[in-house]
Amino acid sequence: MMPTISQVYLDGKFLPPEQARVSVFDRGFIFGDGVYEVIPVFGGRLFRLPHHLARLDASLAAIRLRNPHTTEEWKTIFTRLMAEHGTSDQSIYLQITRGVAPRDHAFPPYPVPTVFAYAQPLKYPPAEQLTQGVTAVTTTDIRWQRCDIKAIALLANALLRQQAIEQGAVEAILVRDGVVTEGAASNIFVVKNGRLITPPKGPFILPGITRDLVVEIARTKGVPCDELPVKIETLSSADEVWLTSSTKEILPITRIDGRPVGTGKPGSMHARMFALYKEYKQAFIQGKVE
């Protein structure tokens, strides 16, 4: 069921969703030629906006498309969308495509991007997922070689996530040549002998904003944290495994491929890092950190 949304932003206009229209010749529809971003909003403040816009710039540069707005213009658009939901926790979805053009694989010489955005209430994972953990399955990473681009062409991710759901799991942990890359819609952390380990940035993972924040918090608070390749054997013998994302935050995985992770319950390191994350988020809402 669609969330209750009274307005969206589309190409310079704020409209009711039912009045928003995109051409069937838009390259986002025809080719999946575009990028997107999801920005949480806590206490009426855009969470780590500079980091999200930097990732947006990187994705746009990678597909050779100009950013259609300045930072201040983005803030103006987002602020008007956010007003619908007041100071409640919410998220901004933003999508930019190469726009309308005759169907041709070659880029149009003078593209006019299609820009679409809306705000919706943030849906957190059920409380029992935090207290009991979630299940995951490992799957072969069948995606392309530029997963660092936050592209809207997510069919492979959707197929992998559906494979997990059909096995009664919440997430698919993707493996390429025996090494963990990320989740179908998340980044992955493992805890081994008191150390956090997360796969390093590169073309096979999306540089998650929450991932980066967890690394930042860990290093600030003296928690050992390494960005290193995670072999499937390391995943299998980990004391704890987590997934991170802007909407799921830090979620413990307690079963993988039907086998328990560690004790089969969320671990003490997760409790510590999630508490530190919530402390950071509260400080952000109070304007003490950016």
pLDDT of 91-129, one tens digit each?
999 999 999 999 999 999 999 999 999 999 999 999 999
The region, left, alpha or beta by phi > 0 then psi within -120 to 50, assigned to residue 203 is alpha
CB 55 within 8 A of CB 42: no
Between 209-220 and 268-285, two packed helices, what is the crossing angle to 10 degrees? Answer: 100
From first CA to last CA, the distance across the chain in angstroms is 34
83: containing domain: 8-121
**Model confidence band, residue 136 (pLDDT cutoffs 50, 70, 90):** very high
Give catalytic status of residue 150 as yes or no: yes
In the set 150, 192, 248, 281, the catalytic residue is 150
Sequence-ordered list of residues with C-beta below 8 angstroms from that of 94, at least 6 positions apart, any chain = 36, 37, 38, 39, 56, 115, 116, 117
Q: What is the pTM of this model?
A: 0.96
Judgement on whether residues 137 and 223 belong to the same structural domain of the protein: yes
Can you tell me which residue has the tokens 């799991």?
A: 169
Judgement on whether residues 132 and 91 belong to the same structural domain of the protein: no
Does the pLDDT at position 3 exceed 70? no
Judgement on whether residues 192 and 73 belong to the same structural domain of the protein: no
Q: Which of 121, 136, 171 is the last residue of a domain?
A: 121
Q: Is residue 245 part of a domain?
A: yes
Q: Is residue 3 part of a domain?
A: no
Element (H, E) at 53: helix 49-62
CB 64 within 8 A of CB 98: no
Overall average pLDDT of the 261-265 stretch: 98
Judgement on whether residues 84 and 174 belong to the same structural domain of the protein: no
Judgement on whether residues 136 and 256 belong to the same structural domain of the protein: yes
